[in-house]
Amino acid sequence: MDLQAFLSRRVVTPEGIRSGGVLVEGETIREIVTLDQVPPSAKIVDFGDAAILPGLIDAHVHINDPGRTEWEGFETATRAAAASGFTCVVDMPLNCVPATTGVGALEAKRAAAKGRCWVDWDAWGGVVADNQQNIIRLAAAGVRGFKCFLVHPGIDEFTMVTEQQLREALPYVAQTGLPLLVHAELPNCIDAATKELEKADWTEYPTYLQSRPETAELSAIKLLISLCREYEFRLHIVHLSASEALPALRAARLEGLPVSVETCPHYLHFEAEAISRGATQFKCAPPIRGAENREQLWNALKDGTIDLVATDHSPCPPEMKRFAGGNFRTAWGGITGLSVALPVMYTETHARGFSLADIARWMAEAPAKLVGCELQKGKIAPGYDADLVVFDEASEFQVTPERLHHRHAFSPYLGEKLKGEVKATYVRGRLVFADNAFHGNPEGRELPA
Ligand SMILES: [Zn+2]
């Protein structure tokens, strides 16, 4: 079998950042060796001062395929992923048609993905108002866990769940042992706030921000924590934005409840104060909040209250962003930034004194645990998939449409000046991306059961 040796002064391993060579046999990491131990038979690729990180895992992507391929699709989403060092993405069960709420829909997704993925992938199943009977079947068919919404998700074919409907589903979810990922905002808080804003100017970002107050997240999270205690299922809070919810989450973890938390690069990079009138490319739910809130999210990453970072890449055609009118009420909510997530995170961590090892923990190791592939992916270690990102910390660039790679080249990150650049991405030992171009064929595959 082919033996390759990837050399770097900065290999990010679970034991720390060190100089050495990653020996790759076929699709698998054989071992990490010092430079003088590299076997002469190996094909050597020397990356010098550029770091080698484990391939990143994005546990929260909306690929929208099959069914809404005019929004995104497997080819474009997985290319954007590879450009940011992601070697595995997990697709959300909504915005595709059919939504992944039954086994037939999962099979349709597998058929759509075949031969079109540049990185490895897998799928979350959906828990909706009336599919409790499908939960065990979906688990048996291979989903990695489930996603539900406590608030209307913006499209009609994926229904939100009320507390009662969730209670009907939770015994089945707990039985599977798989995590339940929850969009944690309660509609009553949002409806009440929105009613007060009927006459407000919806082209102003603060209007939208006020319509989705922190209490909507906090009250949802409190409800979920009590349900977690009662039903003993694995609870995962997706895209946490409100720092007001952090004390409740800290307390739940101290209590020993199986709760994990994710936030997203856009909550860690942008600030509400700087979002201009009509700039609906910044609209997402829950919303981007103020600079002070952002710093609290960073503190929570530091102390471990937040486990991981996922992109929540949620694209749509440009018309749906209503750029002409700039109305935050009618524009589609969703941020596109999959292909720049790693440089965005590096830019922010560099300014705050974190290291590449922290990024590897938040964007590879912790998501692997959530997805249940932690024995195969998420680390540079013997026996693991040879998923590697080569990252040049010294490089800087400005985000242009050519850097985006997803279907529609708009994003709130356009024009941002970022530090650090992905030089190459390897999926199971094969080069798929280097110097802003793609190599080989789309040979990504679904994670094994
Ligand atoms: Zn999402």
Summarize pLDDT for 159-184 with one digit per residue, the tens: 999 999 999 999 999 999 999 999 99
Report CA(7)–ligand 1 centroid distance (Å).
37
pLDDT band at 378 (very low <50, low <70, confident <90, very high): very high
Q: How far apart are CA 351 and CA 347, in angstroms?
A: 7
Query: What number is the average pLDDT over the span 12-19?
Result: 96
| pLDDT attached to residue 86 | 98
| pLDDT attached to residue 449 | 85
| pLDDT attached to residue 117 | 98
Nearest to 357 by CA among 305, 394, 302, 311: 302
Report CA(350)–ligand 1 centroid distance (Å).
27
| pLDDT attached to residue 437 | 96
| pLDDT attached to residue 233 | 98
- Reading the block at residue 59, the tokens are 């546990």
Give me the percent of the chain exceeding a pLDDT of 70.
100
Q: For 154, phi and psi rounded to 5 degrees?
A: 95, -15
Report CA(338)–ligand 1 centroid distance (Å).
12
pLDDT at 395 over 80: yes
| pLDDT tens figures, 116-134 | 999 999 999 999 999 999 9
**Rounded alpha-carbon distances, angstroms, from residue 192 to 187, 210, 212, 215:** 8, 11, 10, 11
| pLDDT tens figures, 319-354 | 999 999 999 999 999 999 999 999 999 999 999 999
On whether the CB atoms of residues 222 and 185 are closer than 8 A, the answer is: no
Report CA(171)–ligand 1 centroid distance (Å).
24
Report CA(62)–ligand 1 centroid distance (Å).
6
Report CA(65)–ligand 1 centroid distance (Å).
14
pLDDT at 438 over 90: yes
Q: How far apart are CA 119 and CA 432, in angstroms?
A: 8
| pLDDT attached to residue 279 | 98
N-terminal to C-terminal alpha carbon distance within the chain:
25
Report CA(271)–ligand 1 centroid distance (Å).
19
Report CA(285)–ligand 1 centroid distance (Å).
8
Residue where the block lists tokens 């034991």: 15
**Rounded alpha-carbon distances, angstroms, from residue 371 to 11, 18, 198, 271:** 24, 27, 41, 30
| pLDDT attached to residue 178 | 98
- Reading the block at residue 364, the tokens are 């590879």
Report CA(24)–ligand 1 centroid distance (Å).
34
pLDDT band at 1 (very low <50, low <70, confident <90, very high): confident
pLDDT band at 297 (very low <50, low <70, confident <90, very high): very high
Residue where the block lists tokens 């800290």: 250
The amino acid that residue 152 corresponds to is H
Give me the percent of the chain exceeding a pLDDT of 90.
99
| pLDDT tens figures, 54-87 | 999 999 999 999 999 999 999 999 999 999 999 9
Q: How far apart are CA 97 and CA 103, in angstroms?
A: 13
On whether the CB atoms of residues 372 and 402 are closer than 8 A, the answer is: no
| pLDDT tens figures, 204-245 | 999 999 999 999 999 999 999 999 999 999 999 999 999 999
| pLDDT attached to residue 339 | 97
| pLDDT tens figures, 184-194 | 999 999 999 99
Report CA(335)–ligand 1 centroid distance (Å).
9
Q: To the nearest whole number, what is the mean pLDDT of the chain?
A: 97
Report CA(265)–ligand 1 centroid distance (Å).
13
Report CA(314)–ligand 1 centroid distance (Å).
6
Query: What number is the average pLDDT over the span 371-399?
Result: 98
Q: Which residues surround ligand 1, an ion (CB under 5 A)?
A: 312
Instruction: Output the pTM of the full model.
Output: 0.98
- Reading the block at residue 265, the tokens are 């690069």
Report CA(81)–ligand 1 centroid distance (Å).
15
